[in-house]
Chain A
Amino acid sequence: MADEQRSCWTEEHDGQVLLHLGGAWRLDALRDLSQQLGKALQSQRAPQAIDGTALQEIDTAAALLLLDSLAAAGSDPATLALHHFDPRHGRVFEVVRGRFAETAVQAPRHKLTPIARVGQISAGVGTLLLGHVEFFGRTLVELSRVLLRPHTLRVHELFAQLGQVGVNAIPVVALVTFLIGVVMAYMLGLQAEKYGANIFVVDGVALGITREFSPLIVATIMAGRSGAAFTAQLGTMKLTEEIDAIRTLGLSAPQVLVVPRVLALVLTLPLLVFVGNVAGLAGAMVMSNLTLDITPQTFMERLHVALAPRHYVIGLGKSPVFALFIAIIGCRMGLSVSRDTRSIGINTTSTVVQGIVAVILLDAMFAVIFQELDL
């Protein structure tokens, strides 16, 4: 029934313009009210008074709309007189009137120009990388302290991390590298079959998997899996002030938290790469048997001839370096979480991106170095 009533109309009385309100003035009808108010105020001079005889309800949002529209029409909100207002409605109106001037405040929003944004982001990346270098140094110092005084090594934490980082990662690492082996044997096989060079698939797969694919893919998996875990774990601890608690108890946060994680990843990544090598070669062996008529026995015999140990050693040897970078990035991003929940998500994402980029960059550098060394 409130909808059928007019919400507002004006009346001229002794040279004064009076605005009548009627029905329910509520937040959920603001758009409607705004239109009606616009029409009512269009034809007349600005009202000096409001009559609330027919008003059934008014809330603060509607009162704000009323004041805003009246002010826009030229009325002075401070001197508007209220006639026949229910005391409850009057109180609501006065609450809003008292704050009306302040609601006009527009908080300054400083938008950066695109060039300034590029600059800001570049400076941010620079600071981040410098911070990494510093953190890297501190972690090495901390690691050497632990080596000099082995009893300060947190054995319990180290083993917990070895389990999480290493043992629990075996299934995913094995599955992914197995499938990579299958795909590689299949793709190489398609080409080699044309030349009747089936057996050389083993050469390609053995070299590719052990020297490049297994280290690279396992490190990428670990950057996503363990790097992100380190950041999320340490970031949450930072947020709940656990890291501050560690400090105030006279313990060293790097020694308690960072060293075990770095050591765990550096120790386990080569082992996981070994798992990846075995699984990848197994995948290739299965695929070769199915599509290329190379029996497992022939595959093993060829592998023995084709795979020089140095390729295998180079592949394994790269992995601790990858691990060091992934762990350092993960821990540092976790410890540099700021005190709000959103930054854990931001830093975790950043860890994964940085970890993967770092692994690929390092791998490229290794490739160039080994090329120059004729390895």
Chain B
Amino acid sequence: MKPLRIALTKGRLEKDTVKLLESAGFDCTAVREKGRRLILPIGDGSIEVVLAKAADVITYVENGVCDLGVVGKDTIMENGRSFYEILDLGFGKCRFALAGKEGTDFFSGYEAKTIATKYPNVTRNFFEGKGMDIRVIKIEGSVELAPLLGLADAIVDIVETGSTLRENGLVIIEDNVAPISARLIANSASLKLRKAQIEELADKMETERKKMQ
């Protein structure tokens, strides 16, 4: 039988997932000593780890070339399409927030506001829910710059502690745009065709997650 393929988001989520898999008893030496390789066997070889960028994890899972994936809820909200989201892994916690320049009232005035963000879909959905017309500007790097330079009225971005915002004179206008953490996602056909194998792995990961919290 083909090994079960799980795509991990490179970086912190990958490290946290590996830790979780190791405490669940899978040998992850190959991933720890990966070098430049991107497909690595773990445990007894019945599972293969694929390392990819966040949005690519979704693409690989959706097309069925990977059975499972670990990816942040932020990426799912921005690129989410059709797959199953089967487990909240609990790590990689942060939240989406709307932030603007200190001392200005974001909701005042008649003109449509301009929002700078790395997440145009999330931003559009958030304001659609409020029935507010806005203009979205996509920024790739430090979004905080846009209101400081006068390009945007506010930003929608991921916030962990809020210290970057404070240091740049920005304040959170709305905090509950959405809570975020890492999720285990599954291809819809894989979940049906390899149910036992996937559920066994998901159950192990869930048990370990509960122990860690």
A and B form one complex: no
- B residues engaging A (CB < 8 A)? none
- A residues engaging B (CB < 8 A)? none
